Amino acid sequence: MFFGACMSGLAGTTLVWQGTTLDKVWHLNPTAYRKLVPLGRNVGALFLLLSATMFVASVAWFKRRLWGWGLAVGIISTQIAADAVSLARGDYLRGGTGLTIASALLYYLLRPRVRNTFQPVNRSREG
């Protein structure tokens, strides 16, 4: 989650503030850049929102909060849906690889032993 927060934050930053030296990072994925740059600041802002969401999920995950676990499950489930769409559209390598990895992560998250390590926030106060 933390890595995803960093990467989506970097993508969002380069789309909102175009023309900086950070734009060089898009050499790693020029196809995505060509598709996203016309959408500019609007999609950049969504990437920054995604980054913030993933960062919050990361913090809650490390604090073993139940809502953090639920947020992680939601994020990975969304990734599975996106990979399934990619696969259905004919992008077999990217969609298939993503679907396999995300499904394995979701399987791990849903195991009772993992789920049981997360605790709801106790809001009751003593005294």
3-state secondary structure 27-64: HHCHHHHHHHHHHHHHHHHHHHHHHHHHHHHHHHHHCC
Residue 50 is predicted with a pLDDT of 94
> Which sequence spans correspond to the domains of the chain?
1-47, 64-120
Residue 70 is predicted with a pLDDT of 94
Distance CA 44, CA 8 (A): 9
- As a whole number, mean pLDDT of residues 46-69 equals 94
With 50 as the cut, is the pLDDT of residue 127 above it? no
Residue 32 is predicted with a pLDDT of 87
Residue 122 is predicted with a pLDDT of 67
The first and second tokens of residue 34, run together, are 């060509």
Quick one: which of 99, 69, 72 has its CA closest to 1? Answer: 72
Is this prediction's pTM over 0.85?
no
The first and second tokens of residue 103, run together, are 């499904």
Task: Express as a percent the part of the chain with pLDDT over 70.
Answer: 94
